[in-house]
Amino acid sequence: MKAVVFYESAADLVQKAPLHAAAHRARWREFADRGDLLMIGPFANAQEDGAMGIFTTREAAEEFVRGDPFVLHGVVRNWTIREWNEALVPENPAPAPDPGVAAG
């Protein structure tokens, strides 16, 4: 069982997110490096639909949210954690792209 975090964006997301993006990115990289965070990212329309992250455990998800700069500084107006039973998991998932490298 995994834990999925859903974030609802604050009304002033566009103004606040850039101020805390580096610290937020450092937080999720820490959790990814530990193996606790499997995937994370915004939906196509982040202002309206927010973002989500998939964690290996509910405890890891709760720990992440409690210290996430986006939560602490109001970039996220509300969040929820839901437990999720994954049904299809590839044996050899493709590595995630490096967010510091531009695609194309």
Considering its fold, how many domains does the chain have in total? 1
Per the structure, the complete domain to which residue 58 belongs is given by 2-84
In this predicted structure, what is the pLDDT of residue 93? Answer: 64
Model confidence at 28, pLDDT cuts 50, 70, 90, reads very high
Task: Convert 40-76 to b/e letters by CB count within 10 Å (16 or more is b).
Answer: beeeeeeeeebbbbbbbebebbeebbeebbbbeeebb
Select from 66, 76, 60, 65 the least CA-distant residue to 20: 76
pTM: 0.84
Whether residue 17 is contained in a domain is answered as yes
The answer to whether residue 53 scores a pLDDT higher than 90 is yes
Model confidence at 79, pLDDT cuts 50, 70, 90, reads very high
Q: CATH code at 77?
A: 3.30.70.1060
